[in-house]
Amino acid sequence: MRRTVVLSVLVPVGVLALTVLAWHLYVTIGDVETFILPAPDLVIRTLWNDWSTLGPALWVTLKLTFSALALAVVGGVALAVLMAQSRWIELALYPYAVILQVTPVVALAPIVVTRIPDTQTALLVLAFVVAFFPILTNTAQGLKSVDHNLRDLFQLHGAGRLQRLWYLEAPSALPYFLTGLRIAGGIALIAAVVAEFAAGSSGAGSGLAFRLFEAQYRLNSPRVFAALLLLAATGVAIFAATSLVSAWALRHWHESAVPRDR
């Protein structure tokens, strides 16, 4: 048990160290130009030196991502519950959710940005539209996947609609919702970046994506990579956080979160 824990830390860290080393050797021995690929230590130093620019940009992107995710959770769950109440509501609303989903953010962005005067609000709307769908579909699926015998049992005991929702459907749907949340967390960040890029927002309140493309435009390669590193780290952190939330919420009963006894 102890050994597995130690190994589960050592293995990824070791592979990371090897990757960075290979990167370093490739750049120094191959004499690669900074413009093409900056050395890892240069990227880290740039991250440090340019923090006054990158730090606030990271903050803007994080705020955007998490606001979009929070709105997506509220909206997605609410709509899923609404759709679970009646097939007619589902039939009426589901097509719009699908249309919003299949329309690429890049195509939607210029339209939304020019219609909504405040850029940050426009970006929030775009990121929300993308993050909302996996939460909606997964939660809706979960609400429908209640064990039929349990449904019968609740009916037999005369449970009302709200009691059924609270005691039966919500817990049944929880694992599905959490899967939706994990997906939504990842794509909320992607959507935030894509929307920002597509919107071409400038000046005050600019996020990481804007800083990245700005640096690229100025051929400031180390800063491009520093921004990229921050984005990747944010994505990993969001994934880890949503996975932890999921494992914690299901720790007592769900197969995905319970160790297999042997």
Partner 1 sequence: MRLADVGKTYANGVLALDGVSLAVASGEFVSLLGPSGCGKSTILRLVAGLSPPSAGTVELGATPGEADALRREISFVFQEPTLMPWATVAANVLMPLRVRRVPRREAEDRVAEALALVGLDGFAKSYPRELSGGMKMRVSIARALVIRPRLLLLDEPFAALDEITRFRLNDDLVRLWRQFGWTVLFVTHSVFESVYLSSRVLVMSPRPGRVVQDIAVPDAARNEAWRMGPEYNALCREVSLALHAAMGDRA
CB of 84 to partner 1, least distance (A): 18
Residue 258 CB-half CA count within 13 A? 9
Distance CA 65, CA 10 (A): 31
* Residue at 165: amino acid letter: L
CB 236 within 8 A of CB 249: no
Residue number with CB closer to partner 1 (156 or 204): 156
User: What backbone torsions phi and psi does residue 160 show, to the nearest 5 degrees?
Assistant: -80, 175
Residue number with CB closer to partner 1 (63 or 164): 164
Distance CA 215, CA 260 (A): 49
Residue number with CB closer to partner 1 (26 or 166): 166
Residue number with CB closer to partner 1 (91 or 258): 258
Residue number with CB closer to partner 1 (154 or 197): 154
CB of 180 to partner 1, least distance (A): 18
Distances, alpha carbon 219 to alpha carbons 23, 56, 87, 155, 216, in Å: 20, 21, 55, 67, 5
CB of 14 to partner 1, least distance (A): 35
Question: What residues make contact with partner 1 under the rule CB under 8 A?
Answer: 147, 149-150, 152-160, 163, 167-168, 171-172, 174, 252-254, 258
CB of 171 to partner 1, least distance (A): 4
Q: Which among 193, 180, 174 has a CA at the least distance from the CA of 242?
A: 180
Residue number with CB closer to partner 1 (42 or 250): 250
* Residue at 178: amino acid letter: L
Distance CA 196, CA 202 (A): 9
CB of 246 to partner 1, least distance (A): 14
CB 59 within 8 A of CB 204: no
CB of 158 to partner 1, least distance (A): 6
| Cα-to-chain-centroid distance, residue 109 | 18
